[in-house]
A and B are shown apart, each in its own frame.
Chain A
């Protein structure tokens, strides 16, 4: 739940409002009025959240070196996805971190300096494709099941496990969509939540 807590934490006011957010995505409609203030809080930190893509040599210690660049400057890594790229010699990392842009510029420059880093790029604010996957285990007996499944259907979730007392839903989408789903589900009992964190890919001819 750490991620959710962090996103909900108050921060400097952001540019996006809940309204523009709804407008941006066709997949989400019918947010209850009462939810909009909660959503606004969810969005508060967006401006300071940076999504970096790091292309690295697939060697032991690379992750530690990169993590140290953040930790030394007091930055927390909020989500991190690492997997080997097409060419097994290299790995792709997507890192999201919250902080002031100047500090992050220095972090990007320092990460780029690491011998095992091919490149590190900031995709914040770009029209890049950003996705994450979430597995949500919701406590749902016979009474709640219909409600849960209705919301799940709305968010195009898959039901990957169903027992008498719980449902595991799998959702994919951008972070805002996953946040919104969790927000809607929070009226039920969320037993466990696992999010992959963001993966990002630049569109068209641009390099990730």
Chain B
């Protein structure tokens, strides 16, 4: 149907259709009513997913984006509606996730006059977006939407916010729906420096103890196939960051799993002993480098990144190449020989045997046990989202990720409450696949209102609440570094999460208390597919995550088990 005259909001919806938007995650409010109305009057096929809290909308869009590679779209109202999305926007920004956030705004004549539900969202969000717009003319909507979608998912992705005053969205539109972009300061260049690639190839060819370090960038650029061929050609081991999980199959003989603060001992030992480290799309985050001055001090350090500003930011490198990871790796593979790494791999295999990821199955119910079983039952084929804390680190260790976009976790931001809404977004994006949210009792309670959203759409997501009645990671730090003085970590007053789930129409709750029941309960939850299932797993209260590198310490200072002596307080970032 062609509308005779369109308003700004209707033009906006048409533009979103042109960008291939399938879902909008949102919650209405006064300033956004024209846009919500246009979702009806345009008879669009875009589906609106009504959330219960705007933070959930942002995380859903984020989960959808990470699981599909397509930008997620958020639609909220002005003022508190928009500010509630900020945590989600920051989460996406830290982890380079494409997202379009549409915020309603007061009418233009009231801007800056403290109108009802007015917030300077354009200003407030500035440090946590890749780019943002305040629309002043309805006819600019097509250009802005086109630019927004281009910016959000090219180069290094990141969220784009579009603030839409109500008089613009309900005012007349008289422009063209197809508009040209006008971005003189934003050029996507697919070329890269050939000479750097040759230098890197030469450095690699001299290496006997190389390690490839894959980050989120390797996944974003679609470099996993290229990475695997290069690793196999070089016969070089590969470790990944938390967000790089899936860039390289973790069951591959060359995989070292995740490195860093709670990474595998063998990945960290490989980094300590290597003679060359090549980062592919990781930003040498403080969780993986520990003490920057001691990170791979004597090794040749190489950095491939699409973002020029990341080169030398944390770690000074010998060789670097700025560009798309996939294109660089494909080119690099042409110039490298097979390396003589047999001794090196044998050496690392010995570490794998000496320091395996392990836990005790007897005694209390262990989070690791549940995650290990979950991994076995799904054959590592599920999309896993997590919250933040101990359960997240154990999930990263025990739930192996085989392919890109299967691991959704808030890495840079460390946002509690991310897991459930991200799983919902992922399930919308990949309706036929198994999606599991692994959450802690702390994080789950921050966004568990979105169970209603999952119920409305009968999403068969599995929510595994690893419940230790503590903010466990902080408790671990208090035990190790603050003489076990617990402060503000006891989550007394937790509801019975299984009963809570049963209150929601279509959701089903399960209780898991005994190690012997792990497989049985997980199977039952997996078999329930008429809506979300929630497993309340009453886990051992005071288990700690190892290996651990205290913040700011070098990788050499890794603890592979509980320390026998008193620990100094960490001086590194959080």
Counting CB contacts under 8 A, is A128 at the interface?
no
Question: In the complex the two chains form, is A61's CB within 8 Å of B151's CB?
Answer: no
Question: In the complex the two chains form, is A64's CB within 8 Å of B309's CB?
Answer: no
A side interface size, CB within 8 A: 22
A residues 49-72 touching B (CB-CB < 8 Å): 56-57, 60-61, 64-65, 68, 72
On chain A, the residues within 8 Å of B132 by CB distance are: 61
- B130, B183, B186, B307: residue with the most chain A Cβ atoms closer than 10 Å: B186
Counting CB contacts under 8 A, is A31 at the interface?
no
Counting CB contacts under 8 A, is A77 at the interface?
no
On chain A, the residues within 8 Å of B183 by CB distance are: 115
Question: In the complex the two chains form, is A118's CB within 8 Å of B184's CB?
Answer: yes
Question: In the complex the two chains form, is A65's CB within 8 Å of B130's CB?
Answer: no
Chain B binding site: helix, strand, loop or mixed by DSSP?
A: mixed
Counting CB contacts under 8 A, is B143 at the interface?
no
Contact of B123 among A57, A64, A89, A115 (CB under 8 A): A64
Counting CB contacts under 8 A, is B131 at the interface?
yes
Binary per-residue interface labels of chain A (95-114) against chain B in the complex, 1 for a CB within 8 Å, 0 otherwise:
00000000001100110111
On chain A, the residues within 8 Å of B127 by CB distance are: 68, 72
Question: In the complex the two chains form, is B185's CB within 8 Å of A109's CB?
Answer: no
B residues 522-571 touching A (CB-CB < 8 Å): none
Task: Say how far A103's CB is from chain B's closest CB, in angstroms.
Answer: 11
Question: In the complex the two chains form, is A57's CB within 8 Å of B313's CB?
Answer: no
Binary per-residue interface labels of chain B (122-133) against chain A in the complex, 1 for a CB within 8 Å, 0 otherwise:
110011001110
Q: A72-B127, A115-B151 are in contact. Are A56 and B185 (CB under 8 A)?
A: yes
- A68, A112, A113: residue with the most chain B Cβ atoms closer than 10 Å: A113
Question: In the complex the two chains form, is A65's CB within 8 Å of B185's CB?
Answer: no
Question: In the complex the two chains form, is B126's CB within 8 Å of A65's CB?
Answer: yes
Task: Say how far A115's CB is from chain B's closest CB, in angstroms.
Answer: 4
Task: Say how far A99's CB is from chain B's closest CB, in angstroms.
Answer: 16
Question: In the complex the two chains form, is B126's CB within 8 Å of A109's CB?
Answer: no
Counting CB contacts under 8 A, is A174 at the interface?
no
Counting CB contacts under 8 A, is B48 at the interface?
no
Complex Cα gap A116–B185 (Å): 5
Question: In the complex the two chains form, is B313's CB within 8 Å of A106's CB?
Answer: yes
B residues 458-510 touching A (CB-CB < 8 Å): none
Counting CB contacts under 8 A, is A82 at the interface?
no
On chain A, the residues within 8 Å of B312 by CB distance are: 105
Counting CB contacts under 8 A, is B174 at the interface?
no
Q: Which A-chain residue is minimally distant from B183 (CB atoms)? A: A115
Q: Which B-chain residue is minimally distant from A107 (CB atoms)? A: B309
Question: In the complex the two chains form, is A115's CB within 8 Å of B308's CB?
Answer: no
Question: In the complex the two chains form, is A61's CB within 8 Å of B134's CB?
Answer: yes
On chain B, the residues within 8 Å of A105 by CB distance are: 312
On chain B, the residues within 8 Å of A117 by CB distance are: 185
Complex Cα gap A106–B132 (Å): 22
Binary per-residue interface labels of chain A (153-197) against chain B in the complex, 1 for a CB within 8 Å, 0 otherwise:
000000000000000000000000000000000000000000000
Contact of B126 among A68, A112, A118, A119 (CB under 8 A): A68
Task: Say how far B53's CB is from chain A's closest CB, in angstroms.
Answer: 28
Task: Say how far A24's CB is from chain B's closest CB, in angstroms.
Answer: 33
Q: A61-B122, A61-B126, A64-B126 are in contact. Are A118 and B185 (CB under 8 A)?
A: yes
Complex Cα gap A118–B184 (Å): 6
On chain A, the residues within 8 Å of B122 by CB distance are: 61
Interface residues of A (CB under 8 A from B): 56-57, 60-61, 64-65, 68, 72, 89-90, 105-106, 109-110, 112-119
New contact pairs (10) apart from A61-B122, A106-B313, A118-B184, CB-CB < 8 Å: A61-B123, A64-B123, A72-B127, A112-B309, A113-B307, A113-B308, A114-B131, A114-B185, A115-B183, A116-B131
Interface residues of B (CB under 8 A from A): 122-123, 126-127, 130-132, 134, 151, 183-186, 307-309, 312-313
Sample (21) of A-B pairs whose CB atoms are under 8 Å apart: A57-B184, A57-B185, A61-B123, A61-B132, A61-B134, A64-B123, A64-B126, A65-B126, A68-B126, A68-B127, A72-B127, A106-B313, A109-B308, A109-B309, A112-B309, A113-B307, A113-B308, A113-B309, A115-B130, A115-B131, A119-B185
